[in-house]
Amino acid sequence: MAPQYRFPSKPLNAPQAMCFDMDGLLIDSEALALEQWSKAAEDLGHPIPRELMVKAIGRSDQQTKELFLSILGPDYPYDRVLDLRFDYTKTYYASRGVPVKPGVQTLLDWAQSRGITLGVATSTQNPYAAAKLESSGLSGFFARIVTGDQVRHNKPDPEIYLTLCRRLGVSPGDALGLEDSQSGLLAAQAAGLGVIHVPDLGPVESWVRDRCLAVLPRPDALIPYISEA
């Protein structure tokens, strides 16, 4: 089902900071992740249902492992499949680069030109997140990056967004959070940020979406709705 977009009914106050999810929001990695999960699992003879992979979108590695083992059984060779999936993904990125989502560069350029501080809150572990942002050419935009292995509780817990706002030196109420997944939206909402939903692949329940300031087709669609007064 195509997402139902909802645009702000009135201008939004210009934020002091914008906090971004990474996978599926800044970089177009979720579809590739599903493809590589499927390929690795099938090559090892342990296929994973697509609906289970989709359900894992936005979760940390540990949360994904717990989810998979709860459905596929405790003997499922998760770590072997994960390692092979990472190998396939690294090979892909090495040959083709890390694709940036449409509208991201425009929004980052616009925000930077207006002195809005930018940060990333991603469930991905630090070495992988840093490599993706560097390869995508986006790393220079961000003052701070908080990754899943730098917090005790990952999304949907608000800790990662609270930590990012603290490191950026802003109150959560003065920041906007841009997210694509349900767990990320819940984390940003619980932290007290104004939340913008930019849908990607993962399903989001209507009650979560309804608590967002807007549901937009791409990140730069936000620009006309931010007041510059």
Q: How many Cβ atoms from other residues are within 10 Å of residue 93's Cβ?
A: 18
Strand partners, 144: 119
Of 164, 176, 139, residue with least CA distance to 17:
176
Please report whether residue 7 resides in a domain: no
Res. 170: pLDDT tops 90: yes
Task: Write out pLDDT tens, residues 88-139.
Answer: 988 888 888 899 999 999 999 999 999 999 999 999 999 889 989 999 999 9
Alpha-carbon gap, residue 223 to 151, rounded angstroms: 31
The pLDDT value recorded for residue 192 is 98
What does the CA dihedral 13, 158, 63, 147 come to, rounded to 10 degrees? 70
Q: Looking at the structure, tell me whether residues 104 and 89 fall in a common domain.
A: no
- Domain end, chosen from 96, 118, 151, is at 96
Q: How many Cβ atoms from other residues are within 10 Å of residue 112's Cβ?
A: 15
What is the pLDDT confidence band of residue 2, given thresholds at 50, 70 and 90?
A: low
The pLDDT value recorded for residue 38 is 95
Q: Looking at the structure, tell me whether residues 120 and 142 fall in a common domain.
A: yes
Task: Write out pLDDT tens, residues 47-84.
Answer: 999 999 998 888 888 899 999 999 999 999 999 999 99
Q: Is the dihedral of CA 121, 124, 126, 130 positive or negative?
A: negative
The pLDDT value recorded for residue 203 is 82
Please report whether residue 80 resides in a domain: yes
Q: Looking at the structure, tell me whether residues 76 and 155 fall in a common domain.
A: no
Q: Looking at the structure, tell me whether residues 66 and 135 fall in a common domain.
A: no
Q: Looking at the structure, tell me whether residues 133 and 176 fall in a common domain.
A: yes
Q: Looking at the structure, tell me whether residues 36 and 140 fall in a common domain.
A: no
Q: What is the DSSP letter of 12?
A: B
Q: Looking at the structure, tell me whether residues 122 and 212 fall in a common domain.
A: yes
Q: Looking at the structure, tell me whether residues 55 and 156 fall in a common domain.
A: no
Of 132, 53, 129, 56, residue with least CA distance to 99:
132
The pLDDT value recorded for residue 4 is 84
Which residues lie below 8 Å from residue 218, measured CB to CB, with a gap of 6+? 101, 102, 103, 198
The pLDDT value recorded for residue 128 is 87
Q: Looking at the structure, tell me whether residues 144 and 42 fall in a common domain.
A: no
The pLDDT value recorded for residue 57 is 87
Phi-psi region of 129 (alpha: psi -120 to 50; beta: other; left: phi over 0): alpha
Please report whether residue 8 resides in a domain: no
| Mean pLDDT taken over the chain | 94
- How many Å separate Cα 18 from the centre of its chain? 13
The pLDDT value recorded for residue 51 is 93
DSSP H/E element including 68: helix 61-72
Q: Which amino acid would we find at residue 147?
A: T
What is the pLDDT confidence band of residue 1, given thresholds at 50, 70 and 90?
A: low
The domain of 47 spans: 30-96
Q: CATH number for the domain including 180?
A: 3.40.50.1000
The pLDDT value recorded for residue 97 is 87
Q: Looking at the structure, tell me whether residues 155 and 183 fall in a common domain.
A: yes
